[in-house]
Amino acid sequence: MAIIFHSVPMPAKPLINGGEFGIEGSLISVLLDGLLLLLVSLYFLYKTKYKNKRHLTDI
């Protein structure tokens, strides 16, 4: 039986590679996720605000 996955030891840099939790626990990943959430939230807020103003002028 062949081994499909091979475990490779990672250097102990938990802020960069997330440590034992994995890449989704790294500081870089958390910051990028927060930035993405902020950008998506601002996009939908702007879209909603612009859409409401456009409908008010059409009346």
**What pLDDT is recorded for position 17?**
76
**What pLDDT is recorded for position 13?**
77
Which pTM was predicted?
Answer: 0.58
* Residue 24 DSSP class: G
Residue-wise pLDDT tens digits, 2-56: 778 887 776 777 777 777 777 778 888 889 999 999 999 999 998 888 776 655 5
**What pLDDT is recorded for position 5?**
82
Please say whether the beta carbons of 13 and 1 come within 8 A.
no
**What pLDDT is recorded for position 7?**
77
CA angle at 25 for the pair 39 and 34, rounded to the nearest 5°: 10
